[in-house]
Each structure stands twice: as C-alpha cells, then as structure tokens.
Amino acid sequence: MKIPGAATILRAVINPLKNKYLRARPLGVAGAALAALLACGGKPKDLTPEPTAPLPTAGLAAQQVGVLPLTLLAADDSLHWEKTLGQRRAALAKADSVVGALLVARAPEVSWLLPDELRRAARRAPGIAPDPDQMGTAILLRGGKLEVVPDPLRSELRTLAAIAGSGGGRYALIPAGLIYRRTVVPPAGAPFATAELTVVMVDVRTGRIGFRTVARGEGDDPWTALTRAVKRLTPGLP
C-alpha cells in the first residue's frame, strides 16, 4: 500500500541527517581525548557533543511507527550499577518501558507500535517473522556512517513491519544502544552519570536511514538519566 506523502516525510527526515547528524564522534573516544587535551592545556569545550536532534514527529503524524526493543545496554564499571542493571533482560525491559511510555505521552500524534506489540505480532507468525529481541539492531550503534541498513537486518525489519502494521507502517524507530557513562568532572551537586541513547529512524521498505541522533540525559540512577535523555528527543514539553 502506498502511503500518501511518504516521499515528503522521508525528505523531512533525511535532509537534517545529511547536514549534520551523521557527523557523530566515535563512542568511547571522548574520555581519552579529554585527558589528552587537559594534559596539553587544551579546553574541554572543544569536545562538546552534537546536540540531540528532535524526532521528526510532525512528518510522521498519523503514521504507524514500530519501536524496536533495545538489545544493547552497557554501563561504566565505575558507576557500580551491577545490582540495578545486572539482570540483563529485566534492565532491557525496564528501558523499553521508559522509552515507550515517554514516546506515547509526549508524541501522541504518531501511532507507535511498541516492543510488546511487535513481539505479539512475531509470535503470530512463527518461522516467518523475526524475534524482535534477537535482531541485530545494535549494529546501528557503531554504524554512524551507514546510509542503508545492511541485510539481514534490512529484510527482517521489512518483514516485521509487514506483519505487525495493519496500516502498512513504513517507518521503524530503533534504539540502537544505551550506554551509561560517568560524568568526567561533574559540578558540585550535579548528577554523576550520563545516559547516551542512540536512536535511528529507518524506512523499512528501502532500508534507508533517514534520521540518527544521540539523546543524552543526566541522573544519579539509570532510569532518571534515561528519562531525561528521551525527553530531549521531544523538546518543548516539561
């Protein structure tokens, strides 16, 4: 089924990507670079990360958008969050819940198909639909220069969208990875951890990546930091 205005929506998503959102710094480099700059008398302000790009929800209004479950979650050992995040499945489910609840509450103009809905759809088509929790979406965390999702993930996204979307949903929002890092030198009284949630929007018919950003939020616990990160994807609200 052809969606009216799909080309216009995708252009609205793709243009900002070409301009600046693919120019992301490799994960894990910031800490080492900061130490080198400080040792040389440099100023850490040069390492200011790219600002979080807001989700292009206006162009997706009334469209079905599948939200894939998170499959990669990691935290700096120095945070000592083993008890909170040590049970991987429970931690991933909690993160999915936080992301899904905030998307529905803060961007109701989009018809979000949340991870549990995608799982139910996949169970209705065993042997055909991929398991959403076993798809290789984490490859997009490291694929900052990718313009098209590689196979087999590309074909899996297309199949899952066809089975789950009764209205012919064309787009998928993929949380590619959630990384918690200790703040290097937090000001007095400031949160000591930062959540970095990498989010990618994909046209499931073509596999084209139309949007990519890293949402950051600070907190003294994982869920406060993640909540603040997701809120930055939908600015202008409390």
Q: Which residues contact 180 (CB under 8 A, 6 or more apart)?
A: 74, 75, 76, 79, 81, 85, 193, 194, 195, 196, 222, 225
Q: Does residue 237 lie within any of the structural domains?
A: no
Measured between alpha carbons, how far is 212 from 24 in angstroms, rounded to an integer?
9
Q: Does residue 147 sit within a domain?
A: yes
Classified as helix, coil or strand, 190 is coil
Mean pLDDT for the stretch of residues 137-166: 88
Is 210 a residue whose pLDDT tops 50? yes
**Low-confidence winner among 15-29, 47-61, 82-96, 113-127 (lowest mean pLDDT):** 15-29
Q: What is the mean pLDDT of the chain?
A: 81
* DSSP bridge pairs for 203: 171
**Within a domain: 236:** no
Helix axis angle, 222-231 relative to 88-106, nearest 10°?
30
Helices (H), the chain: 6-16, 30-39, 82-85, 88-106, 115-123, 139-142, 153-164, 222-231
Structural domains of the chain, count: 1
| pLDDT interval class at 91 (50, 70, 90) | very high
pLDDT at 29: 40
pLDDT for the residue numbered 159: 92
Is the residue at 106 inside a domain?
yes
Q: Indicate the pLDDT class of residue 10, thresholds 50, 70 and 90.
A: very low
- Looking at the domain assignment, is residue 214 inside a domain? yes
| Cα(84)–Cα(45) distance, integer angstroms | 32
Among 22-31, 40-49, 68-77, 185-194, the range with the most confident prediction by mean pLDDT is: 68-77
**How many CA atoms are closer than 13 Å to the CA of 213, on its beta-carbon side?**
22
Higher-confidence residue of 238 and 198: namely: 198
Look up the domain containing 64 and give its range.
6-231
For residue 238, is it within any domain? no
How does 37-76 read in b/e, with b if 16+ C-beta sit within 10 Å?
Answer: eeeeeeeeeeeeeeebbbbbbebbeebbbbbbbbbbbebe
Separation CA 61–CA 58 (nearest Å): 5
